[in-house]
Amino acid sequence: KPIVAVVGRPNVGKSTLVNRLAERREAIVHESRGVTRDRSYHDTDWNGREFTLVDTGGIESVKSKDAFAPRIREQALAACDEADVIVFVVDGTCGITDEDEEVARVVRKADKPVFLIVNKQDNPDSESDLWPFYSLGVGEPRSISATHGYGTGDLLDDIVAAFPEEHEEEEVEDDGCLSVAIIGRPNVGKSSLTNRLVGKKRSIVSDVAGTTRDAIDTVIEFEGRRIRLVDTAGMRKKNQVHEDVEYYSLVRGLAAIDRADVCVLVVDSTVGVTEQDQKLAATAIDRGCALVLCLNKWDLVDTEQARDRVVASIDRRMAFASWAPYVNASALTGRACAKVMQVACKAAEARAIRMRTSQINAVLDAIRETGHTVVRKNRRLKINYATQTGERPPVITFFCNAPDLVDDNFERFLENRIRAAFDLAGTPIRFKFKRKD
């Protein structure tokens, strides 16, 4: 999927514009519950062309405590590097600032299609003069009101037209091997783990053109099956260009997740689960990937307390994915690295499960016997039957008298019951509730 990066200094309206662009055509709404919605990217499509919008605004607010100008530059750098098309936003109500110039320098260097957006033109009859904005040297400015939506349809037409030719994506995705993305923060040991898995002899390196620029996948033979390690390029050669490695790895990770069946989230055991880990995990789940945690650097966890600390951080921060198995490993010593892959394969199987309708309904029978249901305003939820209506990840549709009665609590209860009855470790599952009396 092409990536459209929306860059610009703070407060020019990047996030508003991203939301506006994403909602023009019903954005793909991920079915997910209970995870943080703090997103920095949005999937959407326009005229049948799917793409990902990267909003650098969300990230900047996280980092707002840091020094300003260099941050802005770094972010723009990282975003532009990853993008196929750049949308550079400036504020039409206040002219060009030094920070705008800073971003413009980065944008010019990127040498990619750029759209210069003069935002906050809320009243089309009294637009500011666009002429001065030519001096930014990134082409023709166009005015827009992100708040009201003026001009956004045309902008989308032009963005889509500027995308590179479509890759033969199907070919890449559909070769029958399992795709595994190894994701995580910088320095947690992704490269080390990858190198362990790839080894020297076992590797068949294939230079498949991925959807991300210079994404290189490596196909390995593992215990008799072929596994595609998604985007090993980013891991095997370190990227020196980006000062903001954290951001870069986030964007890179997001792109890898898009192409994976299973995500192995590598966590540094000496640090525990961080907020960014949570974000990556939530994204993986949103995208319907199976999820496995690799608690790496376990060799450094040598006291009872240290161990408890890691486990506590998982309990606290991964509660929304308590079904995700974790493996204590050390990429340094080689401990349990193969196990990580075995667990990933099992998670992939769980994700591809076909549940028999009779078995699902046996669970429902058992639930009915407990009498547990939702009653509100004299209405009582009755589930008549259920069946699996989707896979990878599994989707179960429950036919019931009143879908509106279903609340988070009840859904969690159902999920626990279903998980107890089927081997679903490592895969997210989704529920739909349809009315049928």
Query: Binding site membership for GTP: which residues?
Result: 8-15, 55-59, 119-122, 184-191, 231-235, 296-299
- Piece in contact with ligand GDP (CB under 6 A), picked from 8-16, 150-158, 293-301, 365-373: 293-301
Footprint of ligand GDP on 127-186 (CB under 6 A):
184, 186
Q: Is 94 in the site for ligand GDP (CB under 6 A)?
A: no
Residue nearer to ligand GDP on the CB measure, 83 or 337: 337
Among 57, 189, 253, 426, binds ligand GDP (CB under 6 A): 189
Residues 182, 183, 189, 194, Cα dihedral to 10°: 20
Residues 216-245: x where in contact with ligand GDP by CB under 6 A, - otherwise, as a string: -------------------x----------
Could you say whether residue 267 binds ligand GDP (CB under 6 A)? no
User: Which range in 63-71, 80-88, 108-116, 187-195 contacts ligand GDP by CB under 6 A?
Assistant: 187-195
- Strand order of the β-sheet with 225-229 is 203-205, 218-222, 225-229, 178-184, 262-268, 290-296, 326-328
Q: Note the helical H segments in 184-298.
A: 190-198, 233-236, 245-258, 275-286
Contact status: 13 vs ligand GDP (CB under 6 A): no
Q: Are 71 and 63 in contact (CB under 8 A)?
A: yes
DSSP symbol at 423? -
Edge-to-edge order in the sheet of strand 383-390: 383-390, 395-400, 430-435
Beta carbon nearer to ligand GDP, 20 or 190: 190
Residues 143 and 141: their CA atoms lie apart, in Å, by: 7
Residues within window 319-338 making contact with ligand GDP, judged by CB under 6 A: 330-332
Handedness of CA 364, 369, 372, 378 (dihedral sign): positive
Q: Which of these segments, 161-169, 188-196, 219-227, 396-404, binds ligand GDP (CB under 6 A)?
A: 188-196
Interface residue with ligand GDP among 40, 121, 296, 427 (CB under 6 A) is 296
Q: Minimum CB separation from ligand GDP for residue 335, in Å?
A: 8
Partnered with residue 289 across adjacent β-strands are none
What is the three-class DSSP state of 88?
A: strand
**How many residues bind ligand GDP, per CB under 6 A?**
16
Contact 229, 191 (CB under 8 A): no
Residue 196 sits in the site that holds ligand GDP (CB under 6 A): no
Count other C-beta atoms under 10 Å from residue 398's C-beta: 22
Q: Which residues bind ligand GDP (CB under 6 A)?
A: 184, 186-192, 235, 296-297, 299-300, 330-332
